[in-house]
Amino acid sequence: WREAGIPAFNSLQSAFLRPGAECVVEKFDVIVIGAGAAGLFCAAQAGQKGRRVLLIDNGKKAGRKILMSGGGRCNFTNLYAEPSAYLSHNPHFCKSALARYTQWDFIDLINRHAIAWHEKTLGQLFCDDSAQQVVDMLLKECEAGQVTLRLRSEVLAITRDADGYTLELNGALAWAEKLVIASGGLSMPGLGASPFGYRVAEQFGLKVFPTRAGLVPFTLHKPLLEQLQVLSGVSVPSTLTAEDGTVFKEALLFTHRGLSGPAVLQLSSYWQPGEFITVNLSPVQDIDAFLNDERRAHPNQSLKNTLAKLLPKRLVECLQLLGMIPECTLKQLNSRQQLELASALHQWRVQPNGTEGYRTAEVTLGGVDTRQLSSKTMEARDVPGLYFIGEVVDVSGWLGGYNFQWAWSSAWACAQAL
């Protein structure tokens, strides 16, 4: 608390409870902190089981990230969601929750609310109309569970006694037997992201793995950035490989800050500072074989125009300025030059300068150490009644609906135990 500039609980309590002042403590069965994807769903499920639930958020709206997600259409799950699509220091942890509440369960809920959806690509499911429909659905589910939703509410302090947890909120005290932390990670502070959940974990003696931005664009060192800036807006199908051997085959987008697009966002979660990435700019067509065929048919054609049949013209021009493509005709290209060119285009090694960080990251890697949580209920093993769900936990998914599926699955698993 002190780190975040928040005074310790006792001093706050004494300031709040002035001598002689009457203090009313509102009692609930469950308090959920964070009305994002995981918190809304968990609160709704617990409420529908008959629990009296208080759901708190410091923002003025519930589900702010959901509203921003998927370009406003919310990529709410993925048909291929499975444990191998998640990063964690403890890769087995997510298995139980993902198996007990699956993408098909969430699709069923979406269908029950008559929300039209479509598969965009690679199993990614989006609303046909708007992400607002998913937020409205979750709010309706909360209403069905008679959840008390309190927005613009700051949690100033938490104390635990033998029976439960007392929360000091701005202007009120609330008590519940069970406390669920669903306050998310650090990505996009503009949407209410805060280190709150990590601080609570630390307060109760849980380990928190260092965090870093994931699903985030790369920035480039100045000389290369200046050379590639002319390509801003150009997108190419590519295969990207990280130094640990992880491979993603999706689009690469050049931006005025560096590299982005789905392939880059995916790979960023597997990249460590200082490492190189390998870019295959022609993942389908073998460049050597292509140039041999073209030379036979059009020996006097320029190499540049030939490659422009495979790659965007602006990219070819830029790679020529970088010295990767010789200025010559196909018949002038000798076999050594051709092999060097093929290798440069299939295995272009780029060393990112860094990432754009939490400001634009879709997810936060690291977080509450899952070895201290029950994979069945998300409860802290040594702190009865305290639960962590969603992104605050050290489980992060790939791009494409996997992170929301973790939010739904972990929230559901937790709610069964409340």
User: Cβ distance 218 to 279 under 8 Å?
Assistant: no
Q: Find the binder of ligand FDA among 183, 268, 269, 338 (CB under 6 A).
A: 183
End-to-end CA distance of the chain: 27
Place of tokens 């060192």: 221
Cβ proximity to ligand FDA, 330 vs 401, nearer residue: 401
Angle, vertex CA 133, rays to CA 132 and CA 137, nearest 5:
115
In the complex, which residue's CB is closest to ligand FDA? 36
Cβ proximity to ligand FDA, 362 vs 394, nearer residue: 362
Q: Check binding of 261 to ligand FDA (CB under 6 A).
A: no
Q: Check binding of 258 to ligand FDA (CB under 6 A).
A: no
Of the candidate spans 95-103, 282-290, 329-337, 401-409, the one that interacts with ligand FDA by CB under 6 A turns out to be 401-409
Strands (E), 53-207: 53-56, 75-78, 86-87, 117-119, 124-127, 148-150, 155-160, 165-169, 172-181
Q: Check binding of 269 to ligand FDA (CB under 6 A).
A: no
Taking the complex as a whole, the smallest distance from the CB of residue 106 to ligand FDA amounts, in Å, to: 11
Cβ proximity to ligand FDA, 291 vs 397, nearer residue: 397
Compose the 132-171 pattern: x for residues touching ligand FDA by CB under 6 A, - for all others.
-----------------------x----------------
Q: Which CA distances in Å does 199 have to 155, 179, 307?
A: 12, 14, 54
Q: Check binding of 199 to ligand FDA (CB under 6 A).
A: no
User: Cβ distance 56 to 35 under 8 Å?
Assistant: yes
Cβ proximity to ligand FDA, 194 vs 246, nearer residue: 194
3-state SS, one letter per residue, for 260-303: ECHHHHHHHCCCCCCCCEEEECCCCCCHHHHHHHHHHHCCCCEH
Compose the 340-379 pattern: x for residues touching ligand FDA by CB under 6 A, - for all others.
----------------------xx----------------
Place of tokens 């209410």: 192
Q: 364 pairs with which residues across the strands?
A: 213
Q: Which CA distances in Å does 109 have to 78, 131, 410?
A: 14, 15, 16
Q: Find the binder of ligand FDA among 47, 145, 164, 184 (CB under 6 A).
A: 184
Cβ proximity to ligand FDA, 318 vs 365, nearer residue: 365
Q: Check binding of 35 to ligand FDA (CB under 6 A).
A: yes
Element (H, E) at 20: none
Element (H, E) at 213: strand 208-214
CA trace torsion 127, 132, 136, 138 (10° rounding): 70
Q: Check binding of 59 to ligand FDA (CB under 6 A).
A: yes
Q: Check binding of 403 to ligand FDA (CB under 6 A).
A: yes
Positions that interact with ligand FDA (CB under 6 A): 33-39, 56-59, 64-65, 68-70, 74-75, 155, 182-184, 187-188, 192, 194, 196, 362-363, 390-391, 401-404, 407
